[in-house]
Amino acid sequence: MKDKIALETTIKWIQDPSKGVMGRKVESLALEAIQLVEARNGFVRCNFIVPTHLADKDGNWHAGAMATLIDSLGTATAFSFSGNVKASLDFSLSFYSTVKILEEVEIEAKVVQRKGKLTSVEVKVKRKYSGQLIALGKLWTTSSQGSKL
């Protein structure tokens, strides 16, 4: 039952900011029109067409907007696994390619490890049709609940 509630909350966490229902304005802008494809405990997959308002001066997806989306999805995925997220402790990004505005990408976030109150999540952003890696985000979150894993 706890896993089901955590998963339902995660789905709402992803979908509501994209509709402007909840969250900070920056999250709502970064997640606007995200399409949730699959969600299970510890795993989230989404499709995203990069909107024009997230463009940098060169017409690419702004790196800061991409980082916001990666952080939001990573934290939501950690929550789906643990049912509790208190804070992100470590966040790193590697950028491999740029993405043009109106290009479609696939984002996949998965829990890769859990140690006590710490959860590690990996988030990959790939071109939808070629599968080319665009960015890789890694984050550690902490919760107020431990784990026996």
Is there a domain that residue 34 lies in? Answer: yes
Phi first, then psi, for residue 98 (nearest 5°) are -95, 165
Tally of domains within the chain: 1
End-to-end CA separation in angstroms for the chain = 19
Is there a domain that residue 48 lies in? Answer: yes
Q: Which residues of 35-57 are buried (b: 16+ CB within 10 A; e: fewer)?
A: ebeebebbbbbbebebeeebbee
Which is more confidently placed, 55 or 15? 55
| Whether the predicted pLDDT of 62 surpasses 80 | yes
Is there a domain that residue 149 lies in? Answer: no
State the average pLDDT over residues 90-112: 96
| Whether the predicted pLDDT of 15 surpasses 70 | no
Is there a domain that residue 147 lies in? Answer: no
* CATH number for position 75: 3.10.129.10
Instruction: Return the pLDDT at 25.
Output: 66
| Whether the predicted pLDDT of 54 surpasses 70 | yes
Is there a domain that residue 148 lies in? Answer: no
Q: What angle do CA 117, 82, 110 make, to 5 degrees?
A: 105
Domain limits at 54?
2-142
Q: Is the pTM of the predicted complex or chain greater than 0.95? A: no
Is there a domain that residue 13 lies in? Answer: yes
State the average pLDDT over residues 104-128: 95
